Structure 1
Amino acid sequence: MKTKEEEKQISKHYQELKAHVKGFLKSAEQEELHQFRVQFKKMRALLTLLQSGDKHPKLLKQVKPIQKMFKKAGVIRGAYVNLQLSHQYGFRKPEFEDKQQQIILSGANRFYCKGPKQLEQLKRTRKKLMNSLHRLPAKTVQNFYQDMLNEAADFLQSPVFDERLHDCRKKIKLLMYNQKVADSALADKLTLNKDYLNQLQDTIGKWHDVVLALELFHTDELKHEPVPRQLKAQKDELQKSIVSLAENFRQKAVLEQASAEKKKPAKNKAVQ
């Protein structure tokens, strides 16, 4: 993977991160915060790939200031999602809603107060990353993809429904996030079945959302609500779907490659 390609992707992520931070500071819209977090996950996925090379040992450490912003934004988003879930399942508890609103308000105020500093941190981090980039050999990219696929395949042979399944989803999304930038290195070596991988990670994501919703109903304010029965039924159905989708993961995740000979254009036969 060429250095110019790496620089292009880092610059793209930086511009998106900056735009969403500015957007949230201006409008306080939750979607801006959500997109900031999504964009950071994409940048982190790229850096994880780049760090697999011998010349990129500390790239992830360089984004620690953005990681802190990501976590703070996650606290705000978590409270917002809790409110959305409470409305989705049809209960209104003033003390619960007041607590979540307070988390959102205080978190947003802190985010706003540190806005200029955070934008400057983004700029400095981009500069550090640009100065640290080196060309990533195609073989390194290929090995990285094979390792991630093998790790996911090993786990999904007998999936366990705990945080490890969520971690497995992260590995799958990491491969998908980097697919475009890794295409040239993977050409004729590995072609991912994007539709299958997206279906699997999306189903695991829905399962994780239900798990988080169930955890919400263990809080003091909501522990006597009848809703968990519905959620447990949803969780059971999603787990069955995941087991079915995960079967033969390695074979489903990669599309068969035509041999080099088959890809060569056929020679015209001489007229007899």
Structure 2
Amino acid sequence: MCLIAWNWQPGSATPLLLLGNRDEFYARPAEPLHHWPDAPILAGRDLQAGGTWLGVGPGGRVAALTNYRSATPVRADAPSRGALVADFLQSPLSAQAYLQALQPEASTYNPFNLLVFDGQTLLGLESRGARIVALQPGLGAVSNADFLTPWPKLRQLTARLAACVTRGDTSDEHLWPLLQSRALAADAELPHTGVPLELERALSAVFIATPGYGTRACSVVRVNADKTHFSEQRFGANGAAGHSSLTHPSP
């Protein structure tokens, strides 16, 4: 994932509503959203490294991951970050215990942000400083910087999600347009992440579309008391490429 926003309301009928976009090279192979035959996971699957960017598991568990953007080349010998998502979804550990166990190993991976929900608690981990982030109930978001860093597209998505929540318009049909906005940020508002200015502009949109790289999946996840509902719209270089809507039991 490269952009995630959520509304966390403990004790409500829908404790967690999560939206996210996965941005990736179109050439990188992936399976669409499905129930994995070899694990109790509902997610898409990266066929290059075997992990996933966003998934749900037993007990209402949810995990999602974003990369940290910088000009530093990634290490080819680093373990797969997507494996962390699948590992948490199958783990018996609480969100806090899982992230504490991961902290000493965080630097062995290329930089990432990991968001985990164990059915009760929502937490984040920033790998650069191996810092566990205590997230507060309500709206939040993360992109390719530290949690809650106010990049323009993060501010746009959270503001529009807040408006939908206030109006009670949180069905998929109201949320897809939020994830598919192609509005670019003004140059003065762009972050400085070490990539060329033209690329920084293109990456400032919530929904990215460049010749070889872009938003491959838009996702909406709802955790309810008895089940988790997961919807996914997929895209390729030529536009829309499919849609799935599946459920996973929470108990």
- The structure where strand makes up a greater share of residues is 2
Q: Which has the larger radius of gyration?
A: 1
- The structure where helix makes up a greater share of residues is 1
TM-score w.r.t. the length of structure 2 is 0.27
TM-score w.r.t. the length of structure 1 is 0.26
